């Protein structure tokens, strides 16, 4: 892009990529532009450590370095006192404690199915059309081209998952096997006004119907999609039964299951090509990746007869939010 094209970084943690898409859609709607690229990027493997400046300038003693990969840093003491600063894994355990109906085995079975669907999608070439191969330079050799996700496991099994110990709380149910992966990733989508698309002779795949964000208690941040989805559906004048395809971020299996059960989401139309438990959750990227996957799958499943066909993307957000976006299929 030329230097004359402006840009801005938005931050809604896990939903940042979707938030960028929604911000672009709103800008187009109010006439602030015709063409936008919205998306996100995250390198969790290279996330730095950060520490606060000391005060006064020449002080002695130890300082705390925070890992910026995931979780809290520089928590406000008043916020800590009011809400606590549970780790993301602990918030998943809180959801289990709240429901007491989503067993460890159910979480593991859900996670196994996420891997099965993701591996099947990879092997069938479904993801090929939405992935841009990335070259990795090799000393004295041709570059290594990365063109498939590394996290999904074809060898995943219920037996192996069952042997994993709780990762966040003694006696808990949340493990490394039924949690999303820590990954690197990037995704973006192209948005433009209907007028500009016609002017350029382009056929849009979907139109953004509406979006919504919602706040929830930080200790159960994973329930954010419930409230964000309900707000988005109300704004669109739709019911969940009218949604034909869903991408729900799987921060944790217990979290995704709690959302699906509360909203009545059907497994057969939700995360049909696997979710974050299998594919990983590079925070800033995930919302845009979910939208990309949703649109490509909508193209495969769109009804032949002309009738409304809607898709939903929704994610929970660390520290207690949810975001959701509804789109309508416009392609042939």
pLDDT of residue 62: 84
Given the residues 115, 151, 281, 285, the one annotated as active site: 281
pLDDT of residue 167: 97
pLDDT of residue 193: 98
pLDDT of residue 307: 87
Q: How far apart are CA 151 and CA 259, in angstroms?
A: 24
pLDDT of residue 306: 83
Q: Annotated catalytic, 281? A: yes
Query: Could you report the per-residue pLDDT of 77-123, keeping only the tens digit for each?
Result: 998 999 999 999 999 999 999 999 999 999 999 999 999 999 999 99
Cα 93 off chain centre by: 19
Q: Annotated catalytic, 14? A: yes
pLDDT of residue 38: 98
Contacts of 14 (CB under 8 A, 6+ apart): 249, 251, 281, 283, 286, 287, 315, 316, 317, 318
75 occurs within a structural domain: no
Query: Could you report the per-residue pLDDT of 41-64, keeping only the tens digit for each?
Result: 999 999 999 988 777 777 778 888
65 occurs within a structural domain: no
Low-confidence ranges of the chain (pLDDT < 50): none
67 occurs within a structural domain: no
57 occurs within a structural domain: no
pLDDT of residue 236: 99
Contact status, residue 217 vs residue 83, Cβ threshold 8 Å: yes
Burial class (CB in 10 A: 0-12, 13-18, 19+), 296: middle
Contact status, residue 117 vs residue 273, Cβ threshold 8 Å: yes
Number of domains in the chain: 1
35 occurs within a structural domain: yes
Q: Which helix (H) or strand (E) holds 213?
A: strand 206-215
Query: Which domain covers residue 282, as residue numbers?
Result: 13-40+84-329
pLDDT of residue 23: 98
Given the residues 14, 19, 210, 285, the one annotated as active site: 14
Contact status, residue 178 vs residue 254, Cβ threshold 8 Å: yes
Tell me the torsion sign for CA atoms 192, 198, 201, 206: positive
Q: Which CATH number do you get for residue 261?
A: 3.40.47.10
pLDDT of residue 138: 97
pLDDT of residue 304: 87
Q: Annotated catalytic, 316? A: yes
290 occurs within a structural domain: yes
77 occurs within a structural domain: no
Residue 270 β-bridge partners:
246
8 occurs within a structural domain: no
């Amino acid at each position: 892009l030329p230097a004359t094209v402006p840009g801005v970084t938005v931050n809604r943690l896990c939903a940042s990529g979707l938030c960028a898409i929604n911000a672009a859609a709103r800008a187009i709607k109010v006439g602030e532009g015709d063409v936008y690229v919205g998306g996100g990027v995250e390198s969790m493997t290279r996330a730095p450590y950060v520490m606060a400046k000391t005060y006064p300038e020449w002080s002695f003693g130890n300082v705390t370095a925070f890992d910026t990969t995931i979780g809290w840093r520089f928590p406000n003491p008043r916020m800590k006192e009011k809400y606590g600063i549970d780790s993301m894994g602990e918030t998943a355990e809180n959801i289990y404690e709240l429901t007491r109906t989503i067993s460890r085995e159910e979480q593991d079975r859900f996670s196994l199915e996420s891997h099965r669907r993701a591996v099947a999608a990879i092997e069938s070439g479904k993801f090929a059309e939405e992935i841009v191969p990335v070259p990795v330079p090799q000393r004295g050799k041709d570059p290594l081209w990365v063109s498939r996700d590394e996290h999904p496991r074809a060898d995943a099994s219920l037996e192996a998952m069952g042997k994993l110990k709780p990762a966040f709380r003694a006696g808990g149910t949340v493990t490394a096997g039924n949690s999303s992966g820590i990954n690197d990733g990037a995704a973006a989508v192209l948005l433009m006004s209907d007028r500009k698309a016609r002017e350029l002779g382009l056929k849009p795949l979907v139109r953004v119907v509406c979006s919504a964000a919602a706040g929830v208690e930080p200790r159960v941040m994973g329930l954010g999609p419930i409230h964000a989805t309900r707000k988005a559906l109300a704004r669109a004048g739709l019911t969940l039964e009218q949604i034909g395809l869903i991408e729900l971020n799987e921060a944790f299996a217990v979290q995704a299951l709690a959302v699906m059960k509360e909203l009545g989401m059907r497994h057969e139309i939700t995360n049909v090509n696997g979710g974050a438990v299998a594919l990983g959750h590079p925070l800033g990227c995930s919302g845009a990746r979910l939208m990309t996957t949703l649109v490509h799958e909508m193209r495969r499943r769109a009804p032949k007869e002309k009738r409304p066909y809607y898709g939903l993307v929704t994610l929970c957000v660390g520290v207690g939010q949810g975001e959701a976006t509804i789109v309508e299929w416009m392609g042939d």
